[in-house]
A and B are shown apart, each in its own frame.
Chain A
């Protein structure tokens, strides 16, 4: 049915246009060529002017109407420190290009209107004007200089890697068709070695268990990060290209197999703070599910998200992961509750290269949460420790 309507609409547009064409030509014939040329020129010139004005007003209106979609306005304020810089350079560019847009479009359509054709009219024979051309070469050059300088200053600051002695959290995002694995370094704050050849059903990331740094690494089902602390995300992929994209934080970087990349950012707003801000905007007070008008509102169901921004195959649109920014205290609590992959699933199984050996610094006490989940392998390891 839809198809039929669409095809019908296309046919109708064509038929109607052809009919209009015939009528106009008939009218021109009746009027005489010169007269109809004059009328047509007037009409076209008028509509060009109207279009020019409508384009300018439409653009300004839509900028205002959709201001809440623009970077740095309304709910689309960046939730990270460097994001503020991105937003401010965006806004500088909006203003400068906006001025150029209005001036050139007005000139284009106004001149087309003003200098509409009349038989025998004399034109201005001006092949060129060096002075004018000099000014309109130099002006864009100056404007571009402003944008390049401000843009690059921000860029080099944003893209700088962390320094060794800095206080930061490093996490790793590993992309694959079609999901993300987020690895945290555990208590030693160091990510252990991985080798793609070690990837197996039980070791999805190919962590090399002979490297003790892997032992406390854990994989989280959400990205949880504390507010106000610098984060370095090590980004990589297992199969094809993906892109680590956090829209609210102005973070984006390709995930490349065999070539780890990084992005450093500092979250500035917790998820709860961000949601409270969203409450101020009417579009977020609407029900999240239009079919359920009394269900949760949009600001309530909102969450920070990680998505993929590099075409990676048919599931490209579904690589979602929830991102939570919490207070440092909440983060600490959450962090302590996480179980290391090694000790919860690998230790003393056949996959463990250290099977039967005692590891230096092996945790003797574990948090309450882990105790409930303790499996036999962990118990065995403890017993062997006690015997010592």
Chain B
């Protein structure tokens, strides 16, 4: 399953809700303000790194760049472009957007 999160983890609890529900082997794609969670030093970084043991974590590159965060991505997080976003949706049988 593909989980998509679009809100900042330092403002909303949607990333936490997502990580609580996501089962082993699932993918989590961070887009829009959710990409901050995948950057070095962010308060949510430890949660992302812990989750990366069981989940595949992706972050949308254009959203990172638009926030000045392209050079600060956590190790273990895969950066994808819009084509990669489409591939993730196509590869997974279902998806959940944590609005």
Do the two shown chains form a genuine complex with each other?
Answer: no
Taking Cβ atoms with an 8 Å cutoff, the residues of A that contact B are none
Interface positions of B (Cβ within 8 A of A):
none
